Amino acid sequence: MSLLNREIFWPPADELTEVAERIRGRLGEWPAASTQWRICLTPPEAHGASDLIVFTETHGADVERLLADGAAVLEAHGGRAVLRREDARFVLEGEWSDDWLAALAAFLDCDFEPHDALVLALAWRAGDENKPDAWPVDFDTFPRVGDLPAPPSVPFPSCPERLGLYPVLPSADWVARVLDLGVTTAQLRRKSTDAADLKREIEGAVNAGHKHQAQLFINDHWREAIAAGAYGVHLGQEDVQTADLEAIAQAGVRLGLSTHGYYEMLRALHFRPSYLALGAVFPTTTKVMPTAPQGLARLARYVRLLDGRVPLVAIGGVNGDVLRDVLATGIGSAALVRAVTEAPDTAAAVTALQLEFAQQC
């Protein structure tokens, strides 16, 4: 995991490299970085997709040309950092230490995506490497995501801190069957474009939820969920751009948001959701994921940062074989799909999964 004898800064910056090496040595073992990033303090003549070009003051560089050539560009000054990569734009605001560039190199070497590594670098404080646990865990040092619309005028209603077993199910019949087995949290993920089918299935699932006084969430279809009187809705990051969060909050419907790393967590928290889903923890075949699997080590870090601030749900590739390890991170809920819907004996599977949660308490 050594950063020495590698070109991690351009132009070569021995002092920065030494600090980055010292920080990296205190962060623990992480998988080898899939991209060996080079942090460029001035634009090199030859640059490409593994170059992160940093400007720490006003400049006249042709940023659009650099982006067109495949480089990532970071403009950080005046308490505001704007990272651009291809068509994506990430904005963070706050204060940061003098060591933030060295910390950025260290977190990139831990194989975090540049926007997540940047969050951690801006949260880093000089002297953190001398702590027993050098990882940034003080939420107050973390930056804020900028350029976001205002959150709803009323907060989303709360839900239990530990939602427990959280099956994600394809139909109202499945919801009713699982709730009959004693499950208290579930989600209807209905993959349909037929309006009549959606109305029927959502209403059926919501009625089952009311019958059992369960926490029943509807995936994506927030209008139909409001109309049916659902307990909650679950949305992806991309849905935040299009869904009427004010209408959802005013209807008294709870909101769960999917996240895939530090930046998306901070972005989601801005909207004051009822819970955050963290994933995908493991590879999953139930949907196409925008990011690589997070793994248990990252999940444990996320839980340590956010536990007690908002209810958390592990999601993505979780099944009975790994559930105990997932719960060992301290997370209070895990969403499962095939471990329930493809089990030879649904009742036996639910009992076994519920037992894992009971043993956690």
From first to last of the 361 residues of the chain, give the pLDDT tens digit: 578 778 999 999 999 999 999 999 999 999 889 999 999 999 998 888 999 999 999 898 899 999 999 999 999 999 999 999 999 999 999 999 999 999 999 999 999 999 999 999 999 998 888 888 899 999 999 999 999 999 999 999 999 999 999 999 999 999 999 999 999 999 999 999 999 999 999 999 999 999 999 999 999 999 999 999 999 999 999 999 899 999 999 999 999 999 999 999 999 999 999 999 999 999 987 666 667 899 999 999 999 999 999 999 999 999 999 999 999 999 999 999 999 999 999 999 999 999 999 998 6
* Token pair recorded at residue 41: 């303090």
What would the DSSP string read from start to end of 312-351?
EEEESS--TTTHHHHHTTT-SEEEESHHHHT-SSHHHHHH
CATH 3.20.20.70 placement within the chain: 164-360
* Strand (E) or helix (H) holding 357: helix 346-360
- What is the spatial distance between Cα 220 and Cα 230, in angstroms, rounded to a whole number? 12
H or E element at residue 196: helix 195-212
Q: Which of 123, 156, 158, 119 has its CA nearest to residue 265?
A: 119
* Six-digit token string for 107: 């977190």
Positive or negative: CA dihedral 175, 177, 178, 184 = positive
Which conformational region is residue 274 in: left (phi greater than 0), alpha (psi within -120 to 50 degrees), or beta?
A: alpha
The CATH class of 164-360 is alpha beta
> Kind and range of the H or E element at 204?
helix 195-212
